[in-house]
Amino acid sequence: MDAERSDCLLRAAKQFGTPLYIYFIDDVLDRLKMLEHLFGGRFSVSFAVKSNPNKAILRHLLGHVGSYDVSSFAEVERVLLAGCRAQEITFSGPGKRDDELRRSVMAGVGELVCESLEEAVRVDSYARDLGANVDILVRLNPLRIPKDFGVNMAGRPTQFGIDEEAMMPVLESCARLQNARLVGIHIYSGTNCLSAHAIAENFSIFLELFDRRIDALAVFFKHLRHHLRGQRLVGHKDQRLDNSNYFGDRSWFVFVFRIHKSNIHHRVTECTEVKRQKP
């Protein structure tokens, strides 16, 4: 660490006390520029608000990221207060309560990710009652993922999304909704994958899935969405990002960018919806 930065940290500690989180926003923006350069414009960069909901960071990212990815309506409100337009928000978190869905439609949130047909139908009903239209994506759970992909949330029965083998009837039903417009699919295979080869293989898996199924639908998907999450991939100097050639000439993807901080916390959860698997 250079002397100027060390002095900055020391002065901040003396002024504000400790413990204290300090962010060098120029470094954050430099990482964003690096992502955009290395991926050659194939990705739109989205910021995962749950990774760091610091309001100052949210404000500084305005105009530098394509969208904000949120996991609760409280995060929707926080991003709006930071100055983000509602159309630039994607509500992807699972377990959305009915009130969160309704308020998201009222706020004009850009996209809602639905975990089930039932959730999509509820969104459509709220939009119809409010005289609004809303774009939705359906979360799919692929049958397979690469070996050693990190913490995986696909390739097996999970509580998340629509299983690949059951996806066509669900997508066809969603495409017939009147006020909830099906514009794409959302795949979140897992997290903490630090292997460029596994990431590239995973991209090929869902591209094949998309290409294999798209002709069966009388609907135009605006984009295929896949959330790629990896702390070291975007946050550490020792992880190289020069393997962008693996991904081919595609422009459908959103790369979710995260700034992490540590926190001691307790999590209290409740069941909001039951997903039943085949016997």
215 has pLDDT over 80: no
pLDDT value, residue 109: 96
Mean of the per-residue pLDDT values for the chain? 76
Q: Which of 33-37, 49-53, 72-76, 262-266 is predicted with the least confidence, judged by mean pLDDT? A: 262-266
Instruction: Tell me the average pLDDT across 267-272.
Output: 42
Q: Which of 23-32, 46-55, 197-206 is predicted with the least confidence, judged by mean pLDDT? A: 197-206
57 has pLDDT over 80: yes
Read off the pLDDT band of 101 (50, 70, 90).
Answer: very high
Instruction: Tell me the average pLDDT across 161-179.
Output: 87
From the centroid of its chain, how far is CA 219?
23
Higher pLDDT, 204 or 239: 204
Could you tell me the maximum CA-CA distance found in the chain, to the nearest angstrom? 63
Q: Distance between CA 124 and CA 266 in Å, rounded?
A: 34
Superfamily for 25-257?
Alanine racemase (3.20.20.10)
Read off the pLDDT band of 73 (50, 70, 90).
Answer: very high
pLDDT value, residue 26: 86
223 has pLDDT over 70: no
String of DSSP letters for 233-257: HHH-TTS----GGGG-S---EEEEE
String of DSSP letters for 115-170: SSHHHHHHHHHHHHHTT--EEEEEEEE-S---TT-SEESSSS--SSSEEGGGHHHH
Q: Residue 44's beta-bridge partner residues?
A: 254
pLDDT value, residue 209: 76
Higher pLDDT, 27 or 239: 27
**In this structure, are residues 145 and 189 in contact, taking their beta carbons and an 8 Å threshold?**
yes
pLDDT value, residue 194: 73
pLDDT value, residue 247: 39
Contacts (Cβ under 8 Å, ≥6 apart) of 233? 193, 194, 199, 239, 241
Q: Which of 91-95, 151-155, 200-204, 263-267 has the highest mean pLDDT?
A: 91-95
Domain boundaries, the chain: 25-257
63 has pLDDT over 70: yes
Q: Distance between CA 101 and CA 107 in Å, rounded?
A: 10
pLDDT value, residue 214: 62
